[in-house]
Amino acid sequence: MAFTAKILLLGSGELGREFVISAKRLGCQVIACDAYEGAPAMQVADGFEVFSMLDGERLRAAIEKHRPDFIVPEVEAIRTEVLAEVEAEGFCVVPSARATQMTMNRDAIREVAAVELGLRTSRYRYAESLDEVLAGAEHTGLPCVIKPVMSSSGKGQSTVRDATDLEKAWDYAVANMRGDRKRVIVEEFVAFDYEITLLTIRSREGVSFCPPIGHRQERGDYQESWQPTPMAPAAIAAAQDMARKVVDDLGGYGLFGVEFFVKGEEVIFSELSPRPHDTGMVTLISQNLSEFDLHARAILGLPVPEVVLHGASASAVILADRESGSFAYEGQAEALATPGAQVDLRIFAKPVTRPYRRMGVALALAEDTDTARRVAAEAAGKVRIVY
Ligand SMILES: Nc1ncnc2c1ncn2[C@@H]1O[C@H](COP(=O)(O)OP(=O)(O)O)[C@@H](O)[C@H]1O
Ligand SMILES: [Mg+2]
Which residue ranges form the domains of the chain, and what is each CATH number? Answer: 5-93 (3.40.50.20), 123-188 (3.30.1490.20), 194-386 (3.30.470.20)
Nearest to 269, CA basis, from 220, 203, 196:
196
Spatial distance between the Cα atoms of 368 and 385, rounded to a whole number of angstroms = 29
Q: Is 189 in the pocket of ligand 1 (CB under 6 A)?
A: yes
CA distances from 102 to 81, 99, 298 (A): 11, 5, 20
Active-site annotation holds for 266: no
What's at 17, amino acid-wise?
A: R
The residue nearest atom 27 of ligand 1, judged by CA position, is 217
**Is pTM, for the whole model, over 0.75?**
yes
Nearest to 293, CA basis, from 25, 3, 2, 39:
25
Instruction: Please enumerate in sequence order all residues whose Cβ is within 8 A of that of 322, keeping only pairs 6 or more positions apart, or say none.
Output: 352, 355, 387
Nearest to 266, CA basis, from 117, 137, 145, 122:
122
Would you say 94 is a known binding-site residue?
A: no
Spatial distance between the Cα atoms of 78 and 100, rounded to a whole number of angstroms = 8
Q: Is 223 in the pocket of ligand 1 (CB under 6 A)?
A: no
Q: Please report how many Cα atoms fall inside a 13 Å half-sphere around the Cα of residue 207, on the Cβ side.
A: 19
Model pLDDT, residue 179: 81
Q: Find the 74 Cα to ligand 2 centroid distance in Å.
A: 15
Check: CB of residue 221 under 8 Å from CB of residue 358: yes
Cα-Cα-Cα-Cα dihedral sign, residues 62, 292, 200, 198: negative
Cis, bond preceding 143 (omega within 30 deg of 0): yes
Spatial distance between the Cα atoms of 280 and 19, rounded to a whole number of angstroms = 12
The residue nearest atom 16 of ligand 1, judged by CA position, is 154
Please write the tens of the pLDDT for every residue from 299-314: 999 999 999 999 999 9
**Which atom from ligand 1 is nearest to the alpha carbon of 222?**
25
Model pLDDT, residue 371: 98
Model pLDDT, residue 181: 84
CA distances from 116 to 6, 184, 258, 339 (A): 35, 20, 17, 50
Model pLDDT, residue 14: 98
- 56-88 burial, b at 16+ Cβ within 10 Å, e below that, comes to bebbeebbeebebbbbbbbbbbbbbebbeebbe
Active-site annotation holds for 167: no
Active-site annotation holds for 107: no
The tens place of each residue's pLDDT in the chain, 387 residues long, gives 899 999 999 999 999 999 999 999 999 999 999 999 999 999 999 999 999 999 999 999 999 999 999 999 999 999 999 999 999 999 999 999 999 999 999 999 999 999 999 999 999 999 999 999 999 999 999 999 999 999 988 899 999 999 999 999 999 999 999 887 899 999 999 999 999 999 999 999 999 999 999 999 999 899 999 999 999 999 999 999 999 999 999 999 999 999 999 998 899 999 999 999 999 999 999 999 999 999 999 999 999 999 999 999 999 999 999 888 899 999 999 999 999 999 999 999 999 999 999 999 999 999 999 999 999 999 999 999 999
Mutate to test the pocket of ligand 1, among 75, 142, 261, 278 (most ligand atoms within 8 A of CB): 261
69, 87, 154, 334: the active-site residue: 154
Q: What stretches of 238-327 adopt beta strand conformation (E)?
A: 254-263, 266-273, 312-319
